[in-house]
């Protein structure tokens, strides 16, 4: 389970006329368990009129979370949640606008369709061209900063169907999502006409603002064009417009009666009473005025290719010159919408968990009675304590500094499956382990033939396998063996086998058991002499059939012999010759006083019997002929099973 600790810190993003701020309260307060519903409440201050809310999770607006309260039960470790409040009352803006579009006000736009409602009361609604519905990438409305018109830089722009007068003022709040030096002519707003074909009397009369300085060099800035391609820069290059995280609120005042009738176009940034420095290059006259031949288009230049990449929060247009006091008033109302006031809640979660922190395997160990266990440790989070059940007598646990420790010396034998349960916090978290306490020591017993653990072998001869049975151990190893000979443990059996590489020498070895209880070993030796393994030629007398009809012989005289059938030694066969009674594969092992040798296999058959158990006529006649008699002669016609066969007449 997880615990969520919510720490709230109020952050006042902008301070303006209303000294707006907001704090957040939480219910239930303090630490909560993951999955438990928690309610956040915004507590705004300094807002006039209607307040709009937007809750954010990890910097992303939460769809539908636009009320004073937000409830959730799905917060995770590291999440960040905050609320933004904005004051979106139309009455706060300077009255008398010709049209007013505001993405922070749900009465103007929330991205439900392409239509943008005019808040001025004049019914001059706009249209989002290239409209993209909510839920899709680059949707035309975004909840960022209380609500924005979103422009993707490729097609989205707003058409108004309305043309301003030559005397005009407009405010536009914008933020670029790329450097102001990145592209020439990302368009903010235009009043140039676009005729097809081009009408020079109209299409060169208007006004627009685009990115980069007027010379088009890759510097941060904005430029503007007005009637007959006269141009200028707004503000100071690489100084005024440089940030992609800052909202700029620009008010443009076009006054053709100013400057003794020559006109002026002035730019006021962020409510300042002093206009920005600007340049103006007049190609055709000394006038700085514009006739606005086209309708207002937002998010594009006069060309249908240069689109804005970023956000625009609002646009408000007047057919008159605004005073500096009115400019400041609109700015203060706008910045309250765009940035409002927000309170960030930094969320840290504590995971209720338990993890083995001692060496791997210590949670499943085997020890001997009255021998201390290897200390077992678990690191925990989110708990205030722990209980442990199932431990053997003499073993105990402790909890301190988020760590469970199990230690001690068991005083009873058996298998003990223990369980650690965390206490405190939310739901219990458990982990299990096993301690096996052995009462008796390990054992090891020779199970191969007596003497195999102290055997002599000739050079290049494979040793006779040496096997031991073990109890209590979990593994074993051997030391001292000659190269070519090795040991292995499995299923409580230890086996030594192989062919020694050395041609002579004596090699005492030690088998040591591991695991279980006690230090238990077994010893032996393998002697290798320099004599070669004797060659054992054999011969066969008879017809190669069983039932003592064949005699097998060793062609050489040795100290001792042992005959084998199908790999098993036949008792009492210490003789140079042997007559097989049963069918199978035979060989003889000999000893010449220093080395053992083994002959090749000799196959003895069960003669005179077909697969059905009966003799064929040919086999029968051959048998009678071999035995030297006529048909039906006494003691003639008996098969290898001892059954009498009736010979056909």
How do residues 385-423 score in pLDDT, each as one tens digit? 999 999 999 999 999 999 999 999 999 889 999 999 998
Class of domain 443-529: mainly beta
Q: Is 48 exposed, middle or buried (0-12, 13-18, 19+ CB in 10 A)?
A: middle
Q: Encode pLDDT of 232-288 as tens digits.
A: 999 999 999 999 999 999 999 999 999 999 999 999 999 999 999 998 877 667 788
Contact (Cβ atoms closer than 8 angstroms) between residue 61 and residue 84: no
325 Cβ contact partners less than 8 Å away, ≥ 6 residues apart: none
Tell me the whole-structure pTM to 2 decimals. Answer: 0.50
Whether 2-88+344-350 shares its CATH topology with 354-438 is answered yes
Q: What is the distance between the alpha carbons of residues 343 and 26, in angstroms, rounded to a whole number?
A: 12
Q: What is the distance between the alpha carbons of residues 602 and 588, in angstroms, rounded to a whole number?
A: 9
Beta bridge partners of residue 300, listed in sequence order: 307
Residue 55's pLDDT band (cuts 50, 70, 90): confident
For domain 538-604, the CATH architecture is: Sandwich (2.60)
- The better pLDDT of the pair 616, 63 is held by 63
Q: What is the distance between the alpha carbons of residues 224 and 201, in angstroms, rounded to a whole number?
A: 20
Quick one: pLDDT at residue 78? 67
CATH for 354-438 (2.60.40.10, 1.20.140.10, 3.30.70.141, 1.10.3720.10): 2.60.40.10
Q: What is the distance between the alpha carbons of residues 71 and 26, in angstroms, rounded to a whole number?
A: 10
With pLDDT > 70 as the criterion, what percentage of the chain qualifies?
86
158-166 mean pLDDT: 94
Say whether 328 sits in a helix, a strand or coil.
helix
Is 50 exceeded by the pLDDT of residue 11? no
**How would you list the strands of the sheet with 395-400, edge to edge?**
353-356, 376-381, 403-408, 395-400
14-35 mean pLDDT: 66
Quick one: pLDDT at residue 173? 96
Mean residue pLDDT of the chain comes to 85
Element (H, E) at 324: helix 324-338
- Range name among 11-25, 70-84, 329-343, 582-596 with the lowest pLDDT average: 11-25
Is 70 exceeded by the pLDDT of residue 470? yes
Q: Encode pLDDT of 499-538 as tens digits.
A: 998 888 999 999 999 987 888 999 999 999 888 888 999 9
Is 70 exceeded by the pLDDT of residue 13? no
Quick one: pLDDT at residue 19? 55
Q: What is the distance between the alpha carbons of residues 561 and 415, in angstroms, rounded to a whole number?
A: 53
99-104 mean pLDDT: 93
Q: What is the distance between the alpha carbons of residues 233 and 123, in angstroms, rounded to a whole number?
A: 34
Give the torsion sign (CA, 376, 380, 386, 387): negative
Quick one: pLDDT at residue 197? 83
Provide the residue ranges of all domains of the chain, joining segments of one domain with +: 2-88+344-350, 95-321, 354-438, 443-529, 538-604, 619-649
Quick one: pLDDT at residue 343? 60
Residue 230's pLDDT band (cuts 50, 70, 90): confident
Q: What is the distance between the alpha carbons of residues 471 and 3, in angstroms, rounded to a whole number?
A: 49
- The better pLDDT of the pair 187, 50 is held by 187
Contact (Cβ atoms closer than 8 angstroms) between residue 97 and residue 120: yes
Which CATH number applies to 95-321?
2.60.120.200
- φ/ψ of residue 510, rounded to 5: -135, 125
Class of domain 2-88+344-350: mainly beta
Query: How many Å is the Cα radius of gyration of the chain?
Result: 51
* Cβ-based neighbour number of residue 81 at 10 Å: 24
């Amino acid at each position: 389970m997880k615990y969520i600790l919510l720490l709230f810190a109020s952050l006042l993003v902008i301070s303006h006329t209303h000294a707006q701020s907001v704090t957040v309260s939480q219910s239930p307060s303090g630490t909560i368990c993951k999955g438990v519903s928690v309610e956040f409440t915004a507590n705004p201050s300094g807002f006039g009129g209607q307040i709009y809310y937007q809750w954010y999770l990890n910097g992303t607006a939460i769809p539908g979370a636009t009320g004073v309260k937000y409830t959730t039960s799905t917060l995770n470790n590291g999440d960040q949640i905050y609320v933004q409040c904005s004051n979106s009352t139309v009455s706060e803006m300077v009255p008398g606008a010709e049209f007013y579009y505001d993405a922070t006000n749900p009465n103007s736009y929330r991205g439900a369709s392409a239509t943008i409602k005019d808040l001025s009361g004049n019914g001059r609604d706009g249209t989002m061209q290239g409209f993209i519905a909510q839920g899709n990438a680059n949707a035309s409305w975004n909840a960022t900063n209380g609500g924005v018109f979103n422009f993707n830089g490729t097609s989205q722009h707003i058409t108004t169907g309305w043309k301003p007068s030559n005397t005009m003022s407009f405010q536009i709040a914008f933020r670029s999502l790329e450097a102001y030096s990145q592209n020439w002519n990302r368009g903010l707003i235009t009043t140039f006409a676009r005729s097809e074909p081009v009408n020079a009397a109209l299409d060169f009369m208007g006004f627009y603002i685009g990115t980069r300085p007027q010379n088009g060099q890759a510097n941060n800035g904005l430029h503007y064009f007005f009637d007959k391609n006269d141009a200028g820069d707004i503000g100071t290059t690489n100084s005024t417009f440089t940030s992609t995280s800052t909202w700029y609120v620009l008010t443009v005042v076009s006054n053709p009666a100013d400057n003794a009738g020559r006109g002026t176009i002035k730019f006021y940034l962020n409510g300042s009473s002093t206009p920005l420095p600007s340049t103006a290059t007049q190609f055709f006259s000394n006038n700085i005025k514009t006739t606005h031949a086209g309708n207002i288009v937002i998010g594009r230049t006069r060309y249908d290719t240069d689109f804005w990449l970023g956000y625009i929060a609002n646009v408000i247009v007047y057919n008159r010159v605004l005073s500096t006091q009115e400019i400041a008033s609109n700015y203060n109302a706008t910045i309250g919408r765009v940035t409002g006031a927000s309170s960030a809640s930094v969320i840290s979660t504590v995971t209720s968990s338990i993890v083995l922190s001692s060496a791997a395997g210590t949670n499943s160990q085997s020890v001997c009675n009255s021998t201390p266990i290897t200390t077992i440790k678990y690191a925990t989070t989110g708990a205030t304590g722990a209980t442990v059940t199932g431990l053997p007598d003499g073993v105990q646990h402790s909890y301190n500094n988020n760590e469970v420790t199990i230690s001690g010396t068991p005083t009873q034998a058996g298998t003990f499956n223990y369980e650690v349960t965390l206490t405190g916090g939310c739901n219990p978290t458990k982990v299990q382990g096993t301690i096996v306490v052995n009462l008796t020591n390990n054992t090891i017993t020779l199970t191969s033939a007596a003497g195999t653990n102290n055997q002599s072998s000739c050079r290049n001869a494979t040793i006779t396998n040496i096997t031991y049975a073990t109890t209590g151990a979990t593994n074993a190893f051997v030391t001292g063996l000659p190269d070519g000979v090795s040991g292995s443990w499995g299923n409580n059996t230890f086996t030594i086998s192989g062919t020694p590489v050395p041609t002579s020498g004596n090699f005492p070895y030690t088998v040591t058991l591991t695991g279980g209880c006690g230090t238990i070993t077994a010893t032996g030796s393998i002697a290798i002499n320099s004599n070669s393994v004797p060659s054992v030629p054999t011969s066969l007398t008879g017809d190669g059939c069983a039932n003592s009809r064949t005699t097998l012989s060793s062609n050489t005289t040795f100290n001792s012999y042992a005959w084998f059938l199908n790999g098993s030694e036949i008792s009492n066969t210490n003789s140079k010759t042997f007559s097989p009674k049963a069918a199978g594969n035979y060989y003889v092992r000999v000893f010449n006083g220093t080395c053992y040798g083994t002959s090749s296999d000799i196959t003895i058959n069960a003669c005179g019997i077909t697969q059905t158990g009966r003799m064929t006529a040919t086999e029968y006649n051959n048998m009678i002929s071999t035995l030297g008699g006529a048909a039906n002669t006494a003691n003639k016609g008996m098969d290898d099973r001892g059954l009498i066969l009736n010979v056909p007449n």
